[in-house]
Amino acid sequence: MKHIFIMLAWLSPVLSLHGQTKSVELEGYDRMRYSKEEITVAPGTSVELTMKTISDIPKSQMAHNWVLLKKDTDVDAFVNLCDQYKDNDYIAPALTSKILAHTGMLGGGEQETITFKAPSEPGRYTYVCTFPGHYMAGMKGTLIVQE
């Protein structure tokens, strides 16, 4: 039994290195930045992303989400329309087809873990915070999908 455990312990990191699952921890800050502005994954990788907001400001004034967009999305137009949908975590219902994955809107100390499959097509996919003004202030990043 000991040998099986050792073999599984050895295989676990090997599996994650070969595109099976990638865990990503991401924080959003009051200075309107993510802790990681680039995340690299292999095509089709299962990604477990944990987003946490670090803030002492009330959620109504400072909250963050993580929204991964399809490659063909006009990011400026997407974010501008989302500004109008406070009751939907600043996500425009008409634009949900442009979203590959997203977290909810998280206030200080809140976190959420989501799991999604990375696109199968290599390329650069933008992720943004849709809280009003955050994207324009620089709260964005790139999911790089490559072999």
pLDDT in tens, 62-83: 999 999 999 989 999 999 999 9
Q: What is the pLDDT of residue 2?
A: 42
Residue-wise pLDDT for 19-45, tens only, equals: 478 999 999 999 999 999 999 999 999
Asked if residue 8 belongs to a domain, the reply is no
Name residue 102's beta-bridge partners.
67
Are the beta carbons of 122 and 145 closer than 8 angstroms?
yes
CATH number of the domain at 139, please.
2.60.40.420
Asked if residue 3 belongs to a domain, the reply is no
The Cα–Cα gap between 112 and 80 comes to 24
Residue-wise pLDDT for 103-119, tens only, equals: 999 999 999 999 999 99
Domain residues for the domain of 119 are 19-145
DSSP-based helix, strand, coil % in the chain, nearest 5: 25, 35, 40
38-41/140-145 β-pairing = parallel
* Number of domains present in the structure of the chain: 1
Asked if residue 74 belongs to a domain, the reply is yes
Are the beta carbons of 141 and 124 closer than 8 angstroms?
no
Q: What is the pLDDT of residue 43?
A: 96
Q: 27: which 2 tokens?
A: 């924080």
- Number of Cβ within 10 Å of residue 84's Cβ equals 11
pTM score, two decimals? 0.86
Cα Dmax for the chain: 58
